[in-house]
Chain A
Amino acid sequence: MTYIHKLDQQESKKKFPRKYVVLTVMGLFILTIIEIWASNTVSAYGEKYEKLAVLERNLKMENQILENEIAKNSSLTDIASKSAELGFSISQSIQYIR
């Protein structure tokens, strides 16, 4: 009985590594291929990323310039000078309705 049991154990030890080793090697190989493919694919994206970053900066800058332009055109200093040009003046006599 003891002898047969020993033989069984030796057989199972031989089968286990071969299957998993092959699978692991295959997996690593596939991952390596994927990494190479991904690296190749995104390597050109650095330039695109940089362009987008510059575009973002420029758009933000333009937005800020436009916001400032709006603030300037709606400032009381500006409105007062424009209204004076148009002939508006401070009302001198006000009628209060009771």
Chain B
Amino acid sequence: MRIFWIKSFFLISFACILTRLFYWQVVRADYLQAQAEGQHFTDTTVGALRGNIQFSDGAILASINPSFTVFGQPKLISNDKRVEIGYMLAKVLSEEEEKVDILAKDFINKISQDLYWVPLKKGISPGKKKEIESLNLEGIGFEGGNSRFYPEGSSSAHLLGFVGFDSKGGNKGYFGVEGFYDGELKGVSGLLRHEKDALGLPIMIGNFLTSNPRNGEDLVLNVDRSVQFIVEQSIRNNLEKYGAKAASAVVMDPKTGAIIALAAYPNYDPHKYSNFPKEFYKNPIVADQYEPGSTFKVLVMAAALNEDLIKPDTKCDICSGPISIGGFSIRTWNNKYYPDTTLKDVIIHSDNTGMVFVGQKLGIDKLYSYLENFGFGQPTDIDLQDEFSPDLRPKKDWREIDLTTASFGQGIAVTPIQMVRAVSAVANGGNLMEPQVVRQIKDEKNTFEIKPKIIRQVIKGSTAQMVKEMMVAAVEQGEARIFRPKGFKIAGKTGTAQIPVAGHYDSNKTIASFVGFAPADDPKFVILVRFDQPTSSIYGSETAAPTFFEIAKQLFNYYKIAPTE
């Protein structure tokens, strides 16, 4: 009997050991394996560095800046020290003296939570980190990272966009180039795994496993920083001078479609984007629709000339007074009429009745087809994230009055980038180009060059030449002639479009614009300047045109272009 009990005891003991071993080796195998590996191995994610964005001359427009996230470990902070720690941190990290209290309360609230780890502030500089480290605060630590650095401050904000956070807290580009090329810029993170000893230090003869990070690619823009600077200064100063609600300008190389400068105000600081209203993030050059007004006349004229329906010296036989169409009376902007005026003079005087004549010669079908060929109603495919294109009204819905108003640029919506691209086609001899902001994409080994892209030929070279001459005459003899720099051959056209408000046009609220190119015989740049609701004068000839000439004058110096006359 005694032997039976001893046998039973051993049997049960073995059964228990076996069960426990089964539990550890089979049931909990994965968990314990992971724990063991966690004790033996250290995994470090090696973050990829976001690519730089450079001007055409290689100067930095956006790069990375070492920064840190300061975090708290509430379980390691004693209750009586939380308030003190919160205030000490806030004094170092607050940007304004008045906001120390608010920030301190936020920190105290965060480090009082029932959590092991809580982020307190992201993007702090190495200098601030050192300052906090010198305070020797318990339960406060740092995690390394990178933020964006903009040596030119808020310059080119609408071109760049900004870097924010995705749903997992990682960096993500929004708007502009940052948004469009986010995939190329962000790179791929790597992993470093090595065996560690009891002190957490790597064992040199242990196992090492390295997957190297692939840093983001650098972007070289077509944007010339000097031209960008000139345009930004001019736009900012004149926005104030003319009391406009907003102002924007874009400079394009008509031969390649390269965007040389792009500026819009009001703008924002991409480094502190969250301090600005969200409406400011939108790039008005590519995302704002407006009625182009008289600047559109050159395109309608180009269409009719290209179809050989008219010639520059064709006389308008309906231009002696207001024209009635569909119950509407079409007048000229200054109520002056020129009987039997030539079509060249129609452009010089920006004569609406003359354009009605041209529109009628062209007809809805042909005008519509040219609108499509000039790229209206579809995105230009510019490499900026937030491009928007207003739709063209379906052709079947067009009535005579629509044809009439479209002929002088009202009742049709375009974006500034569509408009500058269409006028570039006139400047370069008839080719519609794809606008391009980025010229090169570079990684550590290779450089990918983005070649200029011709979309299609819209008008004949001879037509482009005729329109060009009309635009030169408009500059030399039109309303804005007093502002033009003497001796230079500049082609251009003013535009003053009323803004539709609740179904009617408000005559005091206008979009004043000027589009043109120079030197007219061999254009180096096309510029569109636009003021939204200027108050000192509602006319493009008194606001946008002087700004255009001011920019053009500086560009002649910069490009070393001498006067020809």
Contacts and interface: CB of A to CB of B under 8 A. Distances in A.
Interface of A: 38-39, 42-43, 45-47, 49-50, 57, 61, 64-65, 67-68, 71-72, 74-78, 80, 90-91, 94, 96, 98
A33 to B, nearest CB: 15
29 contacts: A42-B204, A45-B204, A46-B202, A46-B203, A47-B199, A49-B201, A49-B204, A50-B201, A61-B126, A64-B64, A64-B66, A65-B65, A68-B65, A68-B149, A71-B63, A71-B151, A72-B151, A74-B59, A75-B152, A75-B153, A76-B152, A76-B225, A77-B151, A77-B152, A77-B153, A80-B229, A90-B554, A91-B557, A96-B563
Nearest to A47: B201
B39 interface: no
Contacts of A94: 557
A77 B204 CA distance: 50
B60 A39 contact: no
B560 to A, nearest CB: 10
Given A46-B202, A80-B229, A61 B151 contact: no
Interface in B404-427: none
Contacts of A65: 65-66, 126
A94 B554 CA distance: 11
B202 A39 contact: no
Contacts of A75: 59, 151-153
A49 B206 CA distance: 13
A43 B204 contact: yes
B131 interface: no
B197 interface: yes
Contacts of B494: none
Contacts, number: 68
A50 B44 CA distance: 13
Contacts of B226: 76
Nearest to A96: B562
A38 to B, nearest CB: 7
A14 to B, nearest CB: 41
Given A46-B197, A47-B199, A71-B149, 13 more contacts: A38-B205, A42-B204, A42-B205, A43-B203, A43-B204, A49-B202, A61-B66, A65-B126, A71-B151, A74-B59, A75-B151, A77-B151, A98-B562
B155 interface: yes
Interface of B: 59-60, 63-66, 126, 144, 149, 151-153, 155, 196-197, 199, 201-205, 225-226, 229, 554, 557, 562-563
State the 10 A-B residue pairs at the shortest beta-carbon distance, nearest first: A46-B201, A71-B151, A71-B60, A75-B151, A42-B204, A61-B66, A72-B151, A76-B229, A46-B202, A96-B562
Contacts of A76: 152, 155, 225-226, 229
A64 B201 CA distance: 27
A80 B155 CA distance: 13
Contacts of B229: 76-77, 80
Interface centre among A39, A71, A98 (most CB of B within 10 A): A71
Find the residue from B63, B151, B226 having the highest chain A CB count within 10 A: B151
Nearest to B554: A90
Given A46-B197, A49-B204, A94-B557, A67 B152 contact: no
A68 B151 contact: yes
Contacts of B562: 96, 98
Contacts of A80: 229
Contacts of B126: 61, 65
Contacts of A68: 60, 63, 65, 149, 151
A72 B61 CA distance: 10
A49 B205 CA distance: 12
A43 to B, nearest CB: 7
A77 B152 CA distance: 6
B196 to A, nearest CB: 8
Contacts of A78: 151
A71 B204 contact: no
A98 B156 CA distance: 37
B151 A46 contact: no
A72 to B, nearest CB: 4
A71 B204 CA distance: 39
Given A49-B202, A71-B59, A71-B60, A64 B554 contact: no
Contacts of A74: 59, 151
Nearest to B155: A77
Contacts of B152: 75-77
B147 to A, nearest CB: 11
Contacts of B205: 38-39, 42
A65 to B, nearest CB: 7
Contacts of B202: 46, 49-50
Contacts of B563: 96
